[in-house]
Amino acid sequence: MKFDFKNFNPDSLNDYEQKALDAFDTLTKKVGKGNDFLGWIDAPYNYDKEEFEKIKRCAKKIQSDSKYLVSIGIGGSYLGIKAVDSAMQPYFNFNPKTKLIYAGNQISGEYMNELLEFLKDKDYSINVISKSGTTTEPSIAFRFLREAIEEKYGKEEASKRIYATTDKEKGALKTLADKEGYETFVVPDDIGGRFSVISAVGLLPLAVAGFDIDEFMNGFKEAHDEFLKRDFKENPAIRYAATRNLLYNQGKKMEIFVSYEPKLKYISEWLKQLFAESQGKDGIGIFPLSVNNTTDLHSVGQMIQEGERNIFETVIDVENPIKDIEVKEDSENLDGLNFLSGKKMSYINKKAMEGTTIAHVDGGVLNFKVTLDRINEKEIAKLFYFFEVAVSVDGYMLGINPFDQPGVEKYKTQMYKLLGKPGY
Ligand code: PA5
């Protein structure tokens, strides 16, 4: 992974060095707000090794008897899985042993109806994921899917095809799992939802989809060693946090995560959740957005180039594409594209990125770049951990608790009132 600050570093960053290091110390010494949710910091080494092996065993079993795994979850119990899954699968010719399908990440009756219809003649298992075990969206989805799988396989076989990932001892899902004898996996108490892709939350479905979870953990280990160095110049996570903080104080209220590879769309979705839930509170915080270029250069690109100057960009680039293709010479050249003949599409895409960066920086939009060597388990894990450290350091610089999300409760209260839930 490489980090490019050259279009991003404002002059006065030095004033932020001490503040950033203090925030870093608060994080690593575990003395700040929300410090009971810092299990993710040491999780790359300090994880449950027995459960890790159980995950691999269960993944093999699911691969042997299921063409699909329905992964039920929302927020942190969905986005990390979806981000890795989308980034790592081919666009077409998509034929893993077991494919992940998602549910419980919305409340669409249309989606549920079609999903139940689709699954009727397919072999499948279910992984229901909820740390609290009480979240409405996955609970509703699980009610439908549980009924369907029990109807299809009978109660006894169905209970062997349902895997519950939840709190180790409390919550409605844990109670149900114990009663029905489902295989269970633990979301550690000290790891919040949006940081939980490193736990069984991410590991089980990703192993089932055929990804190398050992490599995934190796990526987290490397990132732990690299991004926990207490060095402002050498640790890009601290530097990035400080830069965001300075920009926010200069009126840059929105950050746009940019990618030039459509597969990375859900990496941006994961980033949006990480930053929004961690920092958008107490009336402050940078609003996270995302674009997929060059598609979005033909829509919101105009706004980025010439709209209000309250934005900056963080580009997620990939150095080495897995597959590429070269533009050929055309004897007629009616489209006038022969100047590109012999050039790879990845090269053209790279020039689009470089050109866009120049134009945006010229237009007053600062631009930071994170480059993955290639899209693989290790690099994605490193990317996750880099941003987790950065969001935490920056959160402490802002004076907020980066590890809670009290605002998420507000819509639920109003929804429950409208639905007539007892007690609301
Ligand atoms: O980051 C978070 O904590 C949230 O986004 C949760 O992951 C989300 O609300 C789902 O919660 P749960 O896993 O308890 O169902």
Summarize pLDDT for 337-380 with one digit per residue, the tens.
Answer: 999 999 999 999 999 999 999 999 999 999 999 999 999 999 99
Ligand 1: which residues within 6 Å by Cβ?
A: 74-77, 130-132, 135, 138, 192-194, 277, 405, 408
Q: Which atom of ligand 1 is nearest to the CA of 76?
A: 7
Rounded mean pLDDT of 316-327? 95
Q: Is 277 noted as a catalytic residue in this protein?
A: yes
Asked whether the predicted pLDDT for residue 96 surpasses 80, the reply is no
Residue 190 C-alpha to ligand 1 middle, in angstroms? 13
Interval 272-298: pLDDT, tens: 999 999 999 999 999 999 999 999 999
Model confidence band, residue 95 (pLDDT cutoffs 50, 70, 90)? confident
Catalytic, out of 255, 277, 377, 379? 277
Q: Is 117 noted as a catalytic residue in this protein?
A: no
Asked whether the predicted pLDDT for residue 72 surpasses 80, the reply is yes
Asked whether the predicted pLDDT for residue 94 surpasses 80, the reply is no
Q: Is 224 noted as a catalytic residue in this protein?
A: no
Model confidence band, residue 69 (pLDDT cutoffs 50, 70, 90)? very high
Interval 245-281: pLDDT, tens: 999 999 999 999 999 999 999 999 999 999 999 999 9
Model confidence band, residue 409 (pLDDT cutoffs 50, 70, 90)? confident
Q: Looking at residue 41, what is its pLDDT?
A: 98
Q: What is the pTM of this model?
A: 0.97
Model confidence band, residue 11 (pLDDT cutoffs 50, 70, 90)? confident
Q: Pocket of ligand 1, candidates 36, 40, 74, 140: which has the most ligand atoms within 8 Å of its Cβ, to mutate?
A: 74
Lowest mean pLDDT among 30-34, 45-49, 84-88, 132-136: 132-136
In the predicted model, what is the mean pLDDT of the chain? 96
Q: Looking at residue 288, what is its pLDDT?
A: 98
Rounded mean pLDDT of 397-411? 93
Q: Looking at residue 14, what is its pLDDT?
A: 87
Interval 194-243: pLDDT, tens: 999 999 999 999 999 999 999 999 999 999 999 999 999 999 999 999 99
Q: Pocket of ligand 1, candidates 36, 79, 135, 136: which has the most ligand atoms within 8 Å of its Cβ, to mutate?
A: 135
Q: Looking at residue 154, what is its pLDDT?
A: 98
Residue 140 C-alpha to ligand 1 middle, in angstroms? 15
Output the 3-class SS for the chain.
Answer: CEEECCCCCCHHHHHHHHHHHHHHHHHHCCCCCCHHHCHHHHCCCCCCHHHHHHHHHHHHHHHHHCCEEEEECCHHHCHHHHHHHHHHCCCCCCCCCCEEEEECCCCCHHHHHHHHHHHCCCCEEEEEEECCCCCHHHHHHHHHHHHHHHHHHCHHHHHHCEEEEECCCCCHHHHHHHHHCCEEEECCCCCCHHHHHHCHHHHHHHHHCCCCHHHHHHHHHHHHHHHCCCCCCCCHHHHHHHHHHHHHHCCCCEEEEEECCHHHHHHHHHHHHHHHHHHCCCCCCCEEEEEECCHHHHCCHHHHHHCCCCEEEEEEEECCCCCCCECCCCCCCCCCCHHHCCCEHHHHHHHHHHHHHHHHHHCCCCEEEEEECCCCHHHHHHHHHHHHHHHHHHHHHHCCCCCCCCCHHHHHHHHHHHHCCCCC
Q: Looking at residue 7, what is its pLDDT?
A: 87
